[in-house]
Structure 1
């Protein structure tokens, strides 16, 4: 890692701490620069605005989450246990970094900045790939026989995302669940996973 990358990583880590503790709206670029003893000019050299830094923070957290998920999945042979593990990890990271979910920025899907849209798309693609890898492993173990694992993984992920809108108390004004709602959504997603996988197994028998 060269000096440029090291500096960028340090900025992202410092911003993560600030955003996670105070939230993005209550954190300024000046405070982040001060934490690192950097000039604002140098900070803006790496990140032209707070949104671009915020997007980098979310992307970095997503990478950490998927790395942890990948490590855990290595020792899980059962398809159902693997999917439930993924759901548990998604909830754990959502709770750990809850203050990073800023309603004013990502609360309206029609107004999400381009940088954040890119990260959201990357996360979605990565989730589909991870779920598909679970189905591929189940195929190899003859636990399942899923022909198009990417397509089936996409259907399952979309169904899990849909659970959010069933739980949100204020569906018009809110996009980001409360902590209690996150927990409720996770429980519903686990039930969905069991039903979904049983459906795949029964489909093979018919």
Structure 2
């Protein structure tokens, strides 16, 4: 279980710690990163780092939260600049694929007990992320229906389906790997596969008079 943190006591210092940890996780992954190395990068004592984040898991979760906040901001900003609901879905998917790639770089987990323990700790966070993403997709689908572009009855079910399939296709490439990581060629393959599905998905939702 993750211990209580003190991240609210000094937002500037907390933000700096998360930024440095994000860089270290991005370079070496969760497993090969130590709290000693992060403290050294920050030029602070290990005790000071542990005051704000009592273990590596809690710091990693904070980094993931930051990444997801950036992802949500990017998607929301991009969608707001578009008028075509089909293009909104494409942009959401492409930004999400980039986010997925980033998460793999930050973790580079091996299939071992430690990975499953951290996944258990992240369970509540993933549930929150899923609700946020489904809400974004549902808003796009609702807009598409309002503009007579899509023809959908069960918007929230369709939003959940899109997210689940994207997640399923993404995980299909790493589930049998020793380390949760994708080479560039594998990522390109995933990108093409998911975008092929997305075009089929969009076509299935369009009103028949829409070309």
Q: Same fold (TM over 0.5)?
A: yes
> Following the alignment from structure 2 to structure 1, what is the Cα–Cα distance between the partners of residues 61 and 119?
9
Q: Which TM-score applies when normalising by structure 2? A: 0.82
What stretches of structure 2 of length at least 5 have no aligned partner?
1-7
> Following the alignment from structure 1 to structure 2, what is the Cα–Cα distance between the partners of residues 17 and 175?
18
> Following the alignment from structure 1 to structure 2, what is the Cα–Cα distance between the partners of residues 156 and 204?
23
How is 1:5-44 mapped onto 2 (pairs within 5 angstroms)?
5-44=11-50
Q: Which TM-score applies when normalising by structure 1? A: 0.84
**Other-structure match for 1:148:** 154
Report deviation, 1:27: 1.7
Q: Could you give the per-residue CA deviations for residues 111-149 of structure 1, whole angstroms, max 9, x where no partner exists? A: 444332233222222221111111011122121132332
Alpha-carbon spacing, 1:121–1:28, altered in 2? closer, same or farther (3 Å): same
Report deviation, 1:98: 4.5
CA RMSD of aligned residues (A): 3.0
How is 1:109-148 mapped onto 2 (pairs within 5 angstroms)?
110-148=116-154
Residue pair 2:85, 2:140 contacting (<8 A) in 1 also: yes
Report deviation, 1:172: 6.7
Equivalent of residue 185 in structure 2, options 152, 172, 180: 180
1:90 matches 2:96: yes
What stretches of structure 1 of length at least 5 have no aligned partner?
none
> Following the alignment from structure 2 to structure 1, what is the Cα–Cα distance between the partners of residues 102 and 177?
26
